[in-house]
Amino acid sequence: MTNVKYSVGIVGCGWLGIALAEKLIAHEHTVIGTTRADDKLQKLSQSKIIAEKLEFPPTDVDVDALAVFQCSTLVIAITPGIRQGRKDYADNIKAIVLHAQRQGVEHIVLLNSTAIYQGLNGYVDETANLRLDDPKVALLKQAEEYVENYCGRYSIFRLSGLVGPGRHPGNFFANKRTLTEPNAFVNLIHQQDVVNSLFEFITQTKPSGIYNVSSSMEVSKGHFYNMAAYALGKEIGSYDNEPSKESGKLIVTNKLHANLEMPFKFDDIVSWMMTNQA
């Protein structure tokens, strides 16, 4: 590695973004993080992040003057919000990419979701044929295409469900949630493994492209969440009355691992959750 210090912008600096920022700052990199909420600006500042407010859609030309768009690397970590009925995810990504392009950002990193593989079964890698007839899949893919067409270097991380500090899977059945498709594979990734992977892609030159980010464990959702509830001493919740007999999809991460120097620290999420209570 070189001794060059990078400035990194994180648009949508929340639970994952703050963890990434703290690692970068610990290695003497400058980090600018954005949030929509005024009350979160102080939280970012407490982590030594240069905090800025960024509303969506970011259409005002004055947005170009924000420090986050003056960085060498821009990480886009906003959530799609599809479950909340939002349909502006791709439009927001398009606008962010446009501002980044005008300001000459060298490297864009998009944190997307493995929900883009909805409707697929079996082992799924980045070359899978997507079900673009599904509006959710089409929206996520459209967002990726805006990044793929960027004039500079880009990295697209398709993240599985996130676990880590404050997100223990044993709390899944809280609020009387029902587990659907208990026979399907569970696809999750620990926050720290995402952070470590991002750190390498930010501080080293890796090939542009799309990368799955997921644990390699092959465990059914039913078995996994039973153990998760047991780990926290909680009651096992209810299952869908008509569970699918299919194994669902298992996210394959061979492409990512081929480009990483360090393996995942928490690839065995079962072991992690059985020894962690938070």
> How many alpha carbons lie under 13 Å from residue 117 in its C-beta half-sphere?
25
132 CB-near residues (< 8 Å, 6+ apart) = 138, 141
What integer is the mean pLDDT of 83-95?
89
CB atoms within 10 A of CB 275: 8
Measured CA distances, 128 to 69, 81, 132, 187 (Å):
33, 24, 12, 16
Helix orientation angle between 191-203 and 15-26, rounded to the nearest 10 degrees: 50
Alpha carbons 9 and 109: distance in angstroms, whole number: 10
Query: Rounded distance, CA 12 to CA 34, Å?
Result: 5
Tokens of 234: 């909680």
* Predicted confidence band of residue 173 (pLDDT cuts 50, 70, 90): confident
Kindly report the pTM of this predicted structure.
Answer: 0.94
Vertex 194: Cα angle to 266 and 144 (nearest 5): 140
Does residue 33 sit in helix, strand or coil? Answer: strand
Lowest mean pLDDT: which of 4-8, 37-41, 103-107?
4-8
Question: 10-24, 72-86, 107-121: lowest mean pLDDT where?
Answer: 72-86
Helices (H), 15-174: 15-26, 41-46, 89-103, 135-148
Rounded to 5°, angle at Cα 165 from 24 and 27: 10
Evaluate if residue 278 carries a pLDDT over 50: yes
Residue 91 bridge partners (DSSP): none
* Architecture of the 7-274 domain: 3-Layer(aba) Sandwich (3.40)
Q: Mean pLDDT for the chain?
A: 92
What confidence score (pLDDT) does residue 2 get?
A: 40
Rg of the chain in Å (alpha carbons)? 19
Q: How confident is the model over 151-172, as pLDDT tens digits?
A: 999 999 999 999 999 999 999 8
Check whether the bond before 57 is cis (ω within 30° of 0): yes
- Asked if 222 and 172 touch (Cβ cutoff 8 Å), the reply is no
Residues 6+ positions from 20 with CB-CB distance below 8 Å: 10, 75, 194, 195, 198, 199
What pLDDT is recorded for position 1? 34
Q: How many CA atoms, within 13 angstroms, populate the side-chain half-sphere of residue 243?
A: 18
